[in-house]
Amino acid sequence: MSGFDEANIPDPDEPEAEYLDANDLYLEPPHPINWELLTADEAETEWLELNGWVNWLRRTYGLTASILPPLWHRHPELVWELSALHLHWLGAYDPEQNGSAPLGWHRDFADARERLREWVAASGTKLDRDRPTRPTYWPGEEPGPEAGETLIENRDQDFVDFVVADVKRRRAAEDAAAGVDPETGEVLG
């Protein structure tokens, strides 16, 4: 994995001011993120960017764990919502945008907070413990294994472990599609 380690995780005790200049870092206009289609390298970049923004968002707006829990990254419904909200924020605060765009973002942010609150309540994730969102199985479907709660001991380490595993999974899928042995890197016949 290219350069990903704990040093890439923003220090929770550092001021978030440097994030506010993030628009200057983009080499291309912001675009919607389809988390299902990202390559390993794209996913690594997007996870780090979204994590930095989510940390800024929760501190700036004083969001509680009932709206934005520590392990949001383990809940796809929260990832998709936060990713869309981030994109909307980038567009609303783009220097080329009209002056009323931030008001539209804040109006939509109010709606998004209600959805986040509902999904957090439905999933059961909390400040100090987490469990996977429970799917609803339809008649005729085989129920999956019941997953219990786990204690959240170190949120930042969990994020690192999650992203490392996600990037590794994506890279293995890319290698398999390209005919590369994931163990040796050897091109297969």
Q: Are 53 and 89 in contact (CB under 8 A)?
A: yes
Q: Are 87 and 79 in contact (CB under 8 A)?
A: no
pLDDT at 145: 87
Q: Are 111 and 94 in contact (CB under 8 A)?
A: no
Q: 107 is written with which tokens?
A: 């109006």
pLDDT at 139: 96
Domain ranges (residues) in the chain: 36-134+146-171
Q: Closest Cα to residue 163, out of 61, 41, 65, 20?
A: 41
pTM of the model: 0.81
> pLDDT band at residue 12, thresholds of 50, 70 and 90?
low
pLDDT at 28: 66
> pLDDT band at residue 67, thresholds of 50, 70 and 90?
very high
Q: Is the pLDDT of residue 184 over 50?
A: yes
pLDDT at 20: 43
Q: Closest Cα to residue 32, out of 78, 76, 83?
A: 83
Distance between CA atoms of residues 167 and 171, nearest Å: 6
> pLDDT band at residue 146, thresholds of 50, 70 and 90?
confident
Task: Give the residue, 136 or 29, on which the prediction is more confident.
Answer: 136
Q: Are 1 and 174 in contact (CB under 8 A)?
A: no
Q: Closest Cα to residue 161, out of 127, 135, 130, 186?
A: 130
